Chain A
């Protein structure tokens, strides 16, 4: 479960370098997020552009990551592909997370 991270003054962007966040890797994703975000203070932008599949385990792991960062830090999502977006919409989790369809909008807004 590969995550790449870039830190700026106001945000930490974490890109998921995998095509799937499913039951096979949900735990590694959670652990990876926890490790990568440890000790930071910025809002975390999760870049999901390469992810074309998540199931309920993947969704749960993303929720867990958000809970782990709260309350001091926010987790926002960007670049949801259609199948991933569908899972968030069906479960209405798109009302819980701030979701940016376009990562450039996310970066523009978060860098202010």
Chain B
């Protein structure tokens, strides 16, 4: 997965994004891929294909990630709301941050089941064209 991430980031080179934006893309992609590996492709399954497409438009970077794993429960991506951290140390959560991070950094998150595939689309407001006044 690290290799795939590195390749995508390398492909973004021509966009000349600043480091903060590149970090955001990397994090969002890493979280989405983690979810696919952990949930869509269950441990027993043979290795599955994941397709990542990036398209830069005026309103940012559009990502489309497809996998051929199990469908998302309820056909909806989790809302991943921020977790209450006013807890004793032993009760602190060790997981569940992934979707929260995706939702914090990306917009227009949509999920569709397309035939036997899952398609996740999201947009990051990076490399946005300046609006002419």
Contact = CB atoms under 8 A, between A and B. Distances in A.
A binds B: yes
Interface of A: 20, 22-24, 53, 55-57, 59-61, 63-64, 66-67, 70-71, 82-83, 86-87, 90-93, 95-96
Contacts of A71: 89-90
Interface hub of B89, B94, B98 (most chain A Cβ within 10 A): B94
Given A63-B93, A70-B89, A95-B85, A53 B19 contact: no
Contact of B27 (A64, A67, A70, A83): A83
7 contacts: A53-B26, A82-B23, A83-B26, A86-B23, A86-B27, A87-B27, A92-B85
- Point out which of A55, A57, A64 has the most chain B C-beta atoms below 10 A from its C-beta: A55
Given A23-B37, A67-B89, A82 B98 contact: no
A63 B92 CA distance: 7
Contact of A67 (B37, B85, B90): B90
B2 interface: yes
B2 A20 contact: yes
Chain B residues touching A, range: 20 to 34
Interface in B71-117: 82-83, 85, 89-90, 92-98, 100-101, 104-105
A22 B92 contact: no
B2 A22 contact: yes
A91 B100 contact: yes
Contact of A64 (B23, B30, B94): B94
Contacts of A61: 94
A56 B97 CA distance: 6
Contacts of B83: 91
Contacts of B101: 55-56, 87, 90-91
A55 B28 CA distance: 9
B92 A67 contact: yes
